[in-house]
Structure 1
Amino acid sequence: MENDQRRKLVSELITLIEKGNAHVTLEEATAGLAPELRSVTIENLPYSIWQLVEHIRIAQKDIVDFSTSAEHDALAWPDDYWPKPVDTVSDSDWENSLKDIKKDQKRFFDLLNHEKNDLFSPLSWGTGQTLLREAMLIADHNSYHTAEIVVARRLLKNWR
């Protein structure tokens, strides 16, 4: 793949992860959420908004760690990927989780931008995963759960 095409593809992947293109971003979905609603589990929904945000953080970090190194410690599904319910979420925990999501995205973008990293070749320590696949996985996974956050906020009557 020539460098110009690679740069265009990486730019599209980064935009997809950061901005969602046709979807609400995680930043938009979480902005202005009343703090007392972060930990509310709505009837007939399995998770609170806090659990969804933390799940996005944990899963994305796992994907980035896996994409970075063969020394990655695998998490146990589903227990390690889903936080337990809590009664309240402090402002600092909330803000730190959102910051960590951005920080791990930047780590992944650095991987994508490094021209020595082939986007299409399977990672030597994986079972066929490529950086391209992992980028699409992050975008798909985050957008899915971001939509759940929007639905939860609608049900809580705390959306636009």
Structure 2
Amino acid sequence: MKDTNAVVIKALKELINGGHAHATFEDAVKELPAKLRGEVPENMPYSVWQLVEHIRITQWDILEFSRNPKHQSPPWPEGYWPKEHAPKDANAWKESIAQVNRERKEFLKLLDEPGVDLYTPFEHGSGQNLLREAMLIADHTSYHTGEIIVLRRLLGAWD
């Protein structure tokens, strides 16, 4: 019988990387015209840029919380949502997406550490453990990736 921890870790990695039953974060942001990145469709509260940044900030916070007991999270909710509707330039857009991808890989490395404990609550926090944080990254990113696709549909930029 396979090591249960290895099976759970493999499933978590697949969940965090996305795909399978839905579009990935990379699919959702791919080839979005620059002029649409800051557009807020009618009756919607945010732009694609704001969602991308929200995903980036939240994932960074979860990663740092999971590996650094001294990490201080931003204030909720204002610290997790950018005020600007659009990136300042193409480089800001590219860097935000690159950071999401880099820090996703950094989080996945935590799951590969020898003797990793998914279940014991961290000494800091209020009962969180690595399993919960991994599922939180996957769930949060998936949810907002779906919203990015909805916004792209509303903007006429999704097939």
Fold in common (TM above 0.5): yes
Q: Distance in 1 between matches of 2:86 and 2:51?
A: 15
- Shift in CA distance, 107/87, structure 1 to aligned 2, threshold 3 Å: closer
Corresponding residue for residue 11 of structure 1: 10
The runs of 4+ residues in structure 1 deviating greater than 4 Å are none
Matched, 1:33 2:32: yes
TM-superposed deviation, 1:25: 0.3
- Structure 2 residue runs of 5 or longer lacking an equivalent are none
Residue 84, structure 1, aligned to residue 66, structure 2:
no
TM-score of the two chains, using structure 1 as the length reference: 0.94
SS in 2 for 1:77: coil
**Aligned counterparts of 2:154 and 2:145: Cα–Cα separation in 1:** 14
Equivalent-residue separation in structure 2 for 1:130 and 1:57 (angstroms): 21
CA contact (8 A) 1:39 1:89 kept: no
Q: How has the CA–CA distance of structure 1 residues 53 and 87 changed in structure 2, closer, same or farther, with 3 Å as cutoff?
A: closer
1:8 offset after TM fit, Å?
1.9
Q: What is the CA-CA distance between 1:116 and the residue it aligns to?
A: 2.4
Q: Report the 3-state secondary structure (helix = DSSP H, G, I; strand = E; otherwise coil) of the residue aligned with 1:80.
A: helix
2:150 aligned with 1:129? no
In 2, the alpha carbon distance for the partners of 1:154 and 1:13 equals: 29
Structure 1 residue 157 corresponds to structure 2 residue 156: yes
The answer to whether the 8 Å contact 1:18/1:25 transfers is yes
> Counterpart in 1 of 2:96?
97
User: Which residue of structure 2 lines up, in the alignment, with residue 117 of structure 1?
Assistant: 116
Q: Which residue of 1 aligns with 2:22?
A: 23
User: How many angstroms apart in 2 are the aligned matches of 1:87 and 1:70?
Assistant: 33
Does structure 2 retain, via aligned residues, the 8 Å contact 1:50–1:89?
Answer: no
Partner of 1:70: 69
1:134-149 equivalences in 2 (<5 Å):
134-149=133-148
In structure 2, what is the Cα distance between the partners aligned to 1:103 and 1:73? 20
Given the superposition, is the C-alpha separation of residues 88 and 121 from structure 1 closer, same or farther in structure 2, using an over 3 Å criterion? closer
Classify 1:90/1:15 alpha carbon distance in 2 versus 1 (closer, same or farther; 3 Å): same
Task: Classify 1:107/1:3 alpha carbon distance in 2 versus 1 (closer, same or farther; 3 Å).
Answer: farther
In the alignment, the residues of structure 1 paired with residue 87 and residue 137 of structure 2 have an alpha-carbon distance, to the nearest angstrom, of: 27
Count of aligned pairs:
159
2:100 aligned partner, one-letter code: I
Structure 1 unaligned spans of 5+ = none
Aligned-partner Cα distance in 1 for 2:31–2:73: 34
Contact 2:48–2:148 (Cα < 8 Å) also in 1: yes
For residues 91-136 of structure 1, what are the alpha-carbon distances to aligned partners after superposition, in whole Å with 9 as ceiling and x for unaligned? 2111100110011111111111113220011011121101000000
Cα drift, residue 86 of structure 1: 3.6
